Amino acid sequence: MDLDKDVKYVKGVGPNRVQLLNKLGIFTLKDLITYYPRTYEDRSKPKNIAECINGEEVLIEVIACGRLSDVHLNGKTMQKLLVRDETGSATIIWFNQSYLKNKFEIGHKYKFYGKINNQFGKITMISPVFDENGKNFNTGKIIPIYPLTYQLSQNVLRKIIEAGLKEVDGNLEETLPEYIIKENNLSNINQATKLIHFPNEFEDFKIARKRLVFEELLSTQLALLALKNSYQNDENGIAFSKEVKMSDVINQLPFKLTKAQLKVLEEIDTNMEAPTAMNRLLQGDVGSGKTVVAMCAAYKAVKCGYQATIMAPTAILATQHLENFQRMLKNLNINCELLISGFSKKKKEALLERLANGEIDILIGTHAIIEENVQFKNLGLVVTDEQHRFGVKQRTKISQKGENPDVLVMTATPIPRTLAIILYGDLDISIIDELPPNRKKIETFAVGKSMTERVNNFIEKQIKEGRQAYIVCPLVEENEELDLKSVEKLYEMYQKEIFPQYRVEYIHGKMKPKEKDEIMERFKNGNIDILISTTVIEVGVDVPNSNIMVIENAERFGLAQLHQLRGRVGRGDYQSYCILKYEGKGENVRERMKVMCNTNDGFVISEKDLELRGSGDFFGTMQHGLPEFKIANLFEDMPILKIVQNVAGRILQDDPKLEKQENKLLGKLIQDKFMKRLEI
C-alpha cells in the first residue's frame, strides 16, 4: 500500500472528482484518509415522533402509511409522504424529487433523518436522508460531516473516504513509538484513523481524536523545541561583557522598576552574556513597562560596543520610543536616532551613513529599518515591539543585518504560558506579570445607543476638567478606504453637531507618518480635546492627560484588541474611563462586553477571547509561520497540550537529537511534517 499514491486511483474517484478533491487539498491517499470530519451527526438512535422538538435534527423509524403524492406547482413539484410510528404521525416533504415516486411502499418501514418542524402539533420533515429499514447507509450510525465538499456531496465524499480506508485496511505503519502509546493510553494509528471517520459510538471518536491530536501537538512541540535547542547549542552568538552592568542605567531611571521587570531583566542579562544568540519573547500586559526593559537591554549592548535597534509597528510609536530613550539615556552618552519612511533623501542618506560608521548607537524605527540599504556597523541587539504585527520572516530579515545578534520580541498580547510555548515555541519566554504601582483600574462601561447623550455629557465634564478624550471608530472589515470614511463621518458628527466648542481632530492609518506624528504631538501637548481615531492608536502611544476612551461599535472588535485600545488611557494620575458603545443583543456580544467591564487583566481577557472566538480566529490574527493544525484545537485541547509539553520536554532532555532507537519514529515524524515548512 502506497500512501503517496494519487487519489485518482482510489475507487469511485473519476476525473471530475479528482479536481474537486484537489480543491480540498486532497492529492494523495494519505491526504484523503487524513481529511478529518468537522463534526458528526448521530443518526444511530431513533426517536419517537411524539418526543421530537421543533428544530432538532433527529432520526425517526416509521411506517409509510400512504402513497407518495407528487404535486405540481408552477413548474415545480412537491412530494409528500405520510408516515407514523406508535406515538404519532408526520409528513415528509421533498421538492423536485419526482424520481422518488416508487420508492416507498405502504406498510413498509423506513428511517428518516432530518430537521423536525413542529407547527401547532403538525409535524413535518423536509428533504431528509433516508434508508429502507434494515439498511444503514445514511442512517443507523454516526455519520461524519466533512468541513468542505465543494460540489461533492457529503455522501460521495464519505464513500470515497470509505474506499480509501479500505485500501489502507489496517496496514498503516505506526507513527508513534510504542512506549508513548502505552504510557499515554493512546489508540494505535489504524484504529484511530478508521474511527475518526466512522465511529461506532461517540466514545470511539473521542479515543481516536485524542490519539490524533496528541500526535499532531507532539510533533509540533518537538519540532519547535528541537529548533530552539539548535539555536542554544550554537555558540556563534555574541557574549556581551559581564563588566557592563544594567544596574548603572536602572539606577538612573525616574522610577523604581517592579519586581517583575527586574526578574525579566535578569533573564535577559544572563541570556545576553551567554555565547549563544538570545531568542526571547517578552510578554507583558499593556502598561506593564516593557519599553524600559528593552532600553536596559539596549544600554547593555551599546556599552559592550554594539549597536541596537528597536522596531515598532507605527511611526507614532517609534517616535515615542525615541523620546523616551533619549530622555532616559541622556546622561549616558548614547546616541539614539529615528528612521521612519518619508524622510527626505538627503536626511536619510546622512542617517544611513552615520549608522554604517557606528555613530548611531540605537536606531529606533518602523518597517523602514528592514530595507536593504539600511546597514549597521555591528548590530548586536534587535528588539521588535508588538510582535503580532511582524512576521517571523521580518524578524529573521532584520537579524541578518548583524552577525547572530540577540533578539528580543515584545508582545502585549498576554496569552497563557502553555499556548505561548507552542505559538512561540522556538523562543524563550519572559513574562512581566505585574503592573507598576499606583495604576488605577480603568472604569469600563458598556452602553447601548440610548445612552449616547449621557456619554457625551460625561465626555464634556472630563474636558471641562482639563482632560482629553479618544473616540475610536468602528472597524470596517480591514478596508482602509472604508475605515477612512467612517472616521471622517464620525469627525463631522462630533465636531459640528456635538462639540462645536471643543477642538476635535481625527487621525487614521492612511495619513502620512509626518501628518500622524503632528496630530499626535498636538494631542500630547494638549492642543486637541477630542481625538477621533481608527485603531492606529491601538499600540503603545502614551498621553497621560487623556483619561477617557469611547469605542464606537465595540462589538466589532475582538476582546484582546479592546483591551489594547483601552490601555491607551489610564497612563496618568487621573481616574480613567472606557466606554464601550455597542449594538446588537447577541449572547456573545453581551458576554464579551461583560468581560471587559469586569476585568483589566489581559491574561483573563485573552483566555476569554480565545474561548469565545475559537482558536482559529484568535490565532489567525496573530500567528505567523506556525503550521496549521489539522485536528488539534489549542483551546479545547489545552489538557492534551499540557501533557504533550511535558512528554516532549522529557524526551528531548533524554535524547536531544532523537537518535535513540525508540525515538527514531519521532525524528521521522517531525522531519516529514515540519522541517521543510519551517525551512530548517
User: Which spans of this chain sit near Mg ion (rule: CB under 5 A)?
Assistant: 540
Helix axes 602-620, 587-598, angle to 10 degrees: 140
d(CA 524, CA 258): 26
Nearer to ligand ADP, 168 or 293 (CB): 293
Angular region, 113: left φ>0, alpha ψ -120 to 50, beta rest:
beta
CB 520 to ligand ADP: min, Å: 14
CB 254 to ligand ADP: min, Å: 8
Distances 294 to 249, 281, 475, 512, 575 between C-alpha atoms, Å: 12, 11, 31, 27, 28
Which H or E element spans position 577? Answer: strand 577-581
C-alpha cell at 673: 511534517
**Contacted entry of ligand ADP, Mg ion, none for residue 314, CB cut-off 5 to 8 Å set by kind:** none
Residues 6 or more apart whose Cβ sits within 8 Å of residue 141: 43, 44, 198, 200
Nearer to ligand ADP, 58 or 294 (CB): 294
CB 325 to ligand ADP: min, Å: 11
Residue type, 410: M
d(CA 674, CA 460): 57
CB 161 to ligand ADP: min, Å: 49
**Contacted entry of Mg ion, ligand ADP, none for residue 292, CB cut-off 5 to 8 Å set by kind:** ligand ADP
**Contacted entry of ligand ADP, Mg ion, none for residue 287, CB cut-off 5 to 8 Å set by kind:** ligand ADP
**Contacted entry of ligand ADP, Mg ion, none for residue 257, CB cut-off 5 to 8 Å set by kind:** ligand ADP
Query: How is the beta sheet containing 546-551 ordered, strand by strand?
Result: 443-447, 577-581, 546-551, 468-472, 530-533, 504-507
**Contacted entry of ligand ADP, Mg ion, none for residue 289, CB cut-off 5 to 8 Å set by kind:** ligand ADP
DSSP category for residue 274? S
C-alpha cell at 14: 473519476
Apex CA 610: angle with CA 608 and CA 616, to 5°? Answer: 165
Nearer to ligand ADP, 211 or 568 (CB): 568
**Contacted entry of ligand ADP, Mg ion, none for residue 405, CB cut-off 5 to 8 Å set by kind:** none
Phi and psi torsions of 453, nearest 5°: -65, -40
**Contacted entry of ligand ADP, Mg ion, none for residue 513, CB cut-off 5 to 8 Å set by kind:** none
Nearer to Mg ion, 177 or 540 (CB): 540
CB 443 to ligand ADP: min, Å: 19
Three-state DSSP class for residue 389? helix
Residues in the site for ligand ADP, rule: CB under 6 A?
A: 255-258, 261, 284, 286-292, 412, 436, 540, 542, 571
Residue type, 201: E
**Contacted entry of Mg ion, ligand ADP, none for residue 288, CB cut-off 5 to 8 Å set by kind:** ligand ADP
CB 567 to ligand ADP: min, Å: 6
C-alpha cell at 271: 541570556
Nearer to ligand ADP, 158 or 563 (CB): 563
CB 285 to ligand ADP: min, Å: 7
Residues 6 or more apart whose Cβ sits within 8 Å of residue 452: 581
Residue type, 299: Y
Distance, C-alpha 556 to centroid of its chain: 16
Distance, C-alpha 308 to centroid of its chain: 30
CB 324 to ligand ADP: min, Å: 7
CB 291 to Mg ion: min, Å: 5
**Contacted entry of ligand ADP, Mg ion, none for residue 436, CB cut-off 5 to 8 Å set by kind:** ligand ADP
Nearer to ligand ADP, 538 or 552 (CB): 538
**Contacted entry of Mg ion, ligand ADP, none for residue 258, CB cut-off 5 to 8 Å set by kind:** ligand ADP
Nearer to ligand ADP, 79 or 366 (CB): 366
**Contacted entry of ligand ADP, Mg ion, none for residue 490, CB cut-off 5 to 8 Å set by kind:** none
Nearer to ligand ADP, 225 or 383 (CB): 383
CB 626 to ligand ADP: min, Å: 24
Looking at beta carbons, which residue is closest to Mg ion? 540
Nearer to Mg ion, 297 or 463 (CB): 297
Q: Cell 455519520 identifies what position?
A: 143
Residues 6 or more apart whose Cβ sits within 8 Å of residue 284: 260, 264, 290, 410, 412, 414, 431, 432, 433
**Contacted entry of Mg ion, ligand ADP, none for residue 542, CB cut-off 5 to 8 Å set by kind:** ligand ADP
CB 253 to ligand ADP: min, Å: 8
Nearer to Mg ion, 237 or 540 (CB): 540
d(CA 330, CA 351): 20
Nearer to ligand ADP, 132 or 267 (CB): 267
Looking at beta carbons, which residue is closest to ligand ADP? 289
Residues 6 or more apart whose Cβ sits within 8 Å of residue 77: 70, 71, 95, 96, 97, 98
Answer whether 62's CB lies under 8 Å from 84's CB.
yes
d(CA 144, CA 483): 41
Helix axes 202-232, 638-654, angle to 10 degrees: 40
Answer whether 669's CB lies under 8 Å from 219's CB.
yes
Give me the sign of the Cα torsion angle 603, 605, 607, 613.
negative
Nearer to ligand ADP, 128 or 602 (CB): 602
Nearer to Mg ion, 249 or 317 (CB): 317
CB 437 to ligand ADP: min, Å: 7
DSSP category for residue 39? E
**Contacted entry of Mg ion, ligand ADP, none for residue 435, CB cut-off 5 to 8 Å set by kind:** none
C-alpha cell at 123: 409535524
d(CA 207, CA 188): 10
CB 171 to ligand ADP: min, Å: 55
**Contacted entry of Mg ion, ligand ADP, none for residue 380, CB cut-off 5 to 8 Å set by kind:** none
CB 249 to Mg ion: min, Å: 18
Answer whether 472's CB lies under 8 Å from 565's CB.
yes
Nearer to ligand ADP, 158 or 568 (CB): 568
Taking the alpha carbons at both ends of the chain, their separation in whole angstroms is 30
